[in-house]
Amino acid sequence: MTLLVIEIKVPSHELVASQGLAPSLAALWPSYLAFVTSFLTVLVIWAHHHLIFGLIAKDDHPFLYWNGLLLLCVTFVPFPTALLAEYLLHADARVAANLYTGTFLAISLAFAALWRHASTKLLSDDASDARRSEARQITRQYRFGAPLYLGAFGVSFVSEAWSVAACLLLAVFFALWRSPATK
């Protein structure tokens, strides 16, 4: 959870002197958008991560590596977030949006790999039917993760703002849509 601490820069005294504080704060909207989107995404990742850890009966070496890869990507998130906040209104916004959505695409791929390994190798042999059914529903749901984030990555080449909005919607979507078994 501590990885969620994402800094928003206080506007400089020069900017505030020329424009006033309220307009300077309003001009920071890319920061707020990036902050909320990254916050919700990381929150959903932790929630699903927690769900996976509750389902598996053991861990093994490959699980630790996939988990380490996922953690590496999540730890990287503050950098593209700060980059997007700084450059979303800049001529070079495309590159920032590419990296931002690309990071989330990488996370969705690492998550898919982690779950694929966990669901095929680490469920206990005598798992209850409820657990197996829950695992199947998670598999069905996660199937959409990487393609959807690939879509957001594609959109980032066309419209930066829409690609970030897509990531925000995806985070809300995966927060709300959980398999019936976990309700």
Residues making contact with its own copies (CB under 8 A): 1-8, 10, 13, 16, 20-22, 25, 35-36, 39-40, 43, 47, 60-61, 64-65, 68, 71-72, 75-76, 78-79, 82-83, 86-87, 90, 92, 95-96, 99, 175, 178, 183
Return the number of the residue (13 or 147) whose C-beta is nearest its own copies.
Answer: 13
User: Residue 141 CB, nearest distance to its own copies (Å)?
Assistant: 15
What is the nearest approach in angstroms of its own copies to the Cβ of residue 183? 6
Contact 105, 150 (CB under 8 A): yes
Q: Give whichever of 10 and 158 is closer to its own copies, judged by the CB atom.
A: 10
Q: In whole angstroms, how far apart are CA 18 and each of 24, 31, 90? A: 9, 20, 20
Taking Cα atoms as reference points, which of 129, 131, 137, 69 lies closest to residue 103? 69
Residue 47 or 158 with smaller CB distance to its own copies = 47
Instruction: Supply the angle between the helices 145-155 and 93-121 in degrees, to the nearest 10.
Output: 170
Q: Cβ of residue 177: shortest distance to its own copies, in angstroms?
A: 10
Instruction: Please say whether the beta carbons of 54 and 130 come within 8 A.
Output: no
Q: Which is nearer to its own copies, 58 or 147 (CB)?
A: 58
Q: How far apart are the first and last CA of the chain?
A: 23
**Shortest spacing between CB 112 and its own copies, in angstroms:** 21
Considering the complex, state which of residue 64 and residue 147 has its C-beta at the smaller distance from its own copies: 64
Residue 149 and residue 170 in contact, taking contact as beta carbons nearer than 8 Å: yes
Main-chain phi, psi angles of 142, to 5 degrees: -65, -20
In the complex, the smallest distance separating the C-beta of residue 119 from its own copies, rounded to whole angstroms, is 21
Q: What stretches of 17-141 adopt beta strand conformation (E)?
A: none
Q: What token pair was written down for 109?
A: 């791929």
